[in-house]
A and B are shown apart, each in its own frame.
Chain A
Amino acid sequence: MRKPIVEFIDFGFQYKSQSSPTLHNINLTIYQGEKVLILGPSGSGKSTLANCINGLNPFSYEGKITGSCKIAGRETKTASIFALSKTVGTVLQDSDAQFVALSVGEDIAFALENQSVPREEMIPKVQRASEIVGMEDFLLHLPYELSGGQKQKVALAGVLHDDVDLLLFDEPLASLDPQAGMQAIELIHQIHVEQKKTVIIIEHRLEDVLHRPVDRIVLMNEGRIVFDGTPDRLLTSNLLPKYGIREPLYIMAMKYAGCTFTGQEVLSDIHSMDLSPFEDKLKKHFRTPVKRSAIPATDEILRVQNVSFSYGDGDVLKDVSFSIDRGEKVAFIGKNGAGKSTMAKLLCGIIRPDRGEICIEGENYLQYSIKEIGEKIGYVMQNPNQMLVKDIILDEVELALLLRDKSREEIDAAVERALDMCNLYGMRNWPIYAVSYGQRKRVTIASILVLQPDIIILDEPTAGQDYYHYTEIMNFLDDLNRKYGITIIFITHDMHLAIEYTDRALVFSDGELIADDSVFKVLSDDDVITKASLKQTSLYTLAKRLDLDPESYIEHFIAYERMKKDNEKSTS
């Protein structure tokens, strides 16, 4: 008989500050030794559910519990968060903020310190936990010296002590580059198998989590469980598109090819699944011609020539050259520290090249001040909360023009145009903190567009967004590009974004530009993928298994998808 470790019975939860419950009627049992993925779009209640398991609800966020939730036989209503933390180890999404100590060793020891464990017992425990996650050589390192993936490993080691049976990961992939994300999933699986821990992962990126097998997927929507079963059953169903979860790329490719599922297939592992029933259809689909939308040649708007830059010790950018045409959509790709953010700062004129030349519309930009460059190249930060300084949307949007002492009429006209472009005109008098994250993102874009720049640079525009909001933001940006001819540069490590929305990828690694090519070519080049910490897409694997050329297969997929999207747009 399997022992239940998490048991929800007719469970509901309502935050004190909200008028209706966030969770309804949850019935869910998770057994010791299971590995479960809790899947759902933003606002589906999956994080609330996680916080009910680790005790943050109702300890930190007050609220009313109905029904029952037992963790290892203990009712959470009456247990303290401290008692629960002995059973449940939680790794939070923000790998930086949860690093509370000043060195790796101290952070791993934090839970032990709080239990007043004597130091001589603490040292071997910290050593053991750090070895499990592979951080034993970093015990004296400072948090500022670590990558996001390493910080996450430390956070994991910090909850591995003692009798913690259940490991809970809240969006473990959100702040990692593709390769680090893949390694995180591998590490979680390894700990699940070797340490025999029960694992619960909260995520909306299904394909990345399925890199290693999970026993069960629980799909949530609007505070209810809408599916609870094996990954194979979920993949063969039509629930994913219905609830706004992105399907794995290879499943999409199969659906485009007209493959149908009976519900009995084993699909969750692309490497081992039986492709024979689908092979003919997939190959036939690959041979159907698709319209390759040629990019009309336009004039060059930006040219970077032999640019190098250093902050004093060693070049951050080495001899980088490229050019961008008007109306292009380009992705800057590379892991943290590869030089893509430095490149963006150089383009905005915040720092200037040590050597080399940057030209905007053929003019050397050294003659312009930051303020003047800001009228040609706009920069939108990742977190809109770091950009918004006013209370009212209208005030925020007109700020840049007020700072330039423009006349009232000129300001009003430009502001109206920018608000219109971003579909915010109707909301112009709303307070900024009353609108959603996606709308705030649009406000920041409007506040840049008001200067009528030719180019905008967006730093991770979709970070932390679920598929629905991701699509919303990206379609909006696509429209801006199409309707107004604005050149867009995305700084990203999201491969899906690059595939679906950009024409070209510039890949940075250790300060060098190692690839400047169409996305499908970049994604089928093994060398580039390893150097830039990217990850093979499942399309690559699918193509290999079908004995097709991965490059042309990915190209076909992208072209087909664009065609389909265009058709949908023209019919709607």
Chain B
Amino acid sequence: MKSPLLNLIPGDTYLHKLTGKTKVRAFVILLVYIIMSFDLRLILPLFIVGIIGLVSLRPEWKTLRYFFIVVAAVNLLNIVLFWLANPDIGAFWCGGSRTVLVSFTKRLFISLETLWYLSIRFLKMITSFLISMVFVLSITPSELAAGLYSIKVPYKICTIFSIAFRYIPDIGRDYENIKISMQARGVELDPKKVPLMDRIKQNVLILVPLIISSFERVGNISNAMDLRGYGRGKTRTYYCEHEEGKADKIFKAIYTGLLLFCAFWIVSRIIYPPPSKMWYPFS
């Protein structure tokens, strides 16, 4: 069972070898960093770092390409809709000026400010997607659980993640088996022969036994966990969470610095609001 996106076995690149704790903490701080501003000077470096990170993981580009196309298309649509809703949105963000470049009608025009704002917005979305990709590709579900636990998420919630990844393939296999037996009984699932609505109805038929057999499994799993003392203590340790290496220490220094910078940035913006809502070099 191999999933193209998630790795269940720890990889061997620099980022893969970090501990779950480092990966989760760095990811959370980077998310704060990317959300807090619309500033190209902050977003562009992270965009470059994201690309380097992704390349260093040596992913399977074939599957990734598909995701990138979908995400880019959705976000392009998103900014087009933004523009249609309010072509003058850039004025609000860039300090009030309006430099019209092209004008279609009186209401529909492209201004330098709007173009700037929407481009940054697009870059920001792509960067956050890049960072998320690097995170997802570098972490295993067990490390994710351990990492979340390290940022004080209760371990019963952390377990949900690792357990879900453990049993989803099993449920997929059950689904395959049930589908086979239903097909032999005459349920037609061929998209060429059956209209969509009927296919959905037939799939619901498969869900009934799937849900029932999954419930049977849940009972067994929870017994197996109880019998090995799950839920006994308030704390827990993780076998997969290896000792911090040199790389983890370097990352720790970087993300701690970044956290302080984010705090400083946010606080300073609250105390001394800048003249315009985003950095705009052409005003």
Is the pair A106, B239 in contact by a Cβ cutoff of 8 Å? yes
Within 8 A of B (CB), among A87-129: 90, 92, 94, 96-103, 105-106, 109-119, 122-123, 126
A-B contacts counted at CB < 8 A amount to: 170
Is the pair A385, B241 in contact by a Cβ cutoff of 8 Å? no
Chain B positions 229 through 243: 1 when the CB is less than 8 Å from some CB of chain A, otherwise 0: 111110111111111
Is the pair A114, B228 in contact by a Cβ cutoff of 8 Å? yes
Asked whether B1 is an interface residue with its Cβ less than 8 Å from the other chain, the reply is yes
Number of residues in A with C-beta < 8 Å to the partner? Answer: 69
Q: In the complex, what's the smallest C-beta–C-beta distance from B266 to chain A, in angstroms?
A: 36
Q: Which stretch from B74-82, B96-104, B169-177, B248-256 is at the chain A interface?
A: B169-177
Is the pair B230, A110 in contact by a Cβ cutoff of 8 Å? yes
Is the pair A400, B186 in contact by a Cβ cutoff of 8 Å? yes
Is the pair B209, A387 in contact by a Cβ cutoff of 8 Å? yes
Asked whether B212 is an interface residue with its Cβ less than 8 Å from the other chain, the reply is yes
Q: Which stretch from A7-15, A330-338, A374-382, A524-532 is at the chain B interface?
A: A374-382
**B185, B210, B222, B240: which has the most chain A beta carbons within 10 Å?**
B185
Contacts of B1 in A (CB 8 A): 142, 144
Sampled A-B contacts (20; CB under 8 Å):
A85-B227, A96-B170, A101-B162, A102-B165, A102-B166, A110-B230, A112-B239, A113-B239, A114-B230, A117-B237, A119-B238, A122-B239, A126-B239, A140-B9, A385-B209, A386-B177, A386-B213, A389-B209, A399-B186, A403-B187
Is the pair B185, A81 in contact by a Cβ cutoff of 8 Å? no
Is the pair B166, A383 in contact by a Cβ cutoff of 8 Å? no
Cα distance, A114 to B220, chains bound together (Å): 18
Question: What 4 additional pairs, Cβ within 8 angstroms, besides A92-B223, A387-B178, A389-B182?
Answer: A82-B232, A115-B232, A119-B243, A385-B213
Contacts of B64 in A (CB 8 A): none
Is the pair A114, B213 in contact by a Cβ cutoff of 8 Å? no
Contacts of B220 in A (CB 8 A): 92, 94, 97-98
Cα distance, A386 to B209, chains bound together (Å): 5
Interface residues of A (CB under 8 A from B): 54-56, 59-60, 81-82, 85-86, 90, 92, 94, 96-103, 105-106, 109-119, 122-123, 126, 140, 142-144, 155, 158-159, 345, 348-350, 370-371, 373-374, 377-381, 383, 385-389, 399-400, 403-404, 447-448, 451
Q: In the complex, what's the smallest C-beta–C-beta distance from A418 to chain B, in angstroms?
A: 13
* A371-B186, A386-B181 given; A158·B209 CB < 8 A: no
Is the pair B184, A60 in contact by a Cβ cutoff of 8 Å? no
Cα distance, A371 to B169, chains bound together (Å): 27
Within 8 A of A (CB), among B202-218: 205-206, 208-210, 212-213, 216-217
* A92-B227, A142-B1 given; A114·B185 CB < 8 A: no
Q: In the complex, what's the smallest C-beta–C-beta distance from A142 to chain B, in angstroms?
A: 5
Cα distance, A195 to B59, chains bound together (Å): 46
For B174, give the chain A residue with the smallest CB separation: A386
Cα distance, A445 to B110, chains bound together (Å): 69
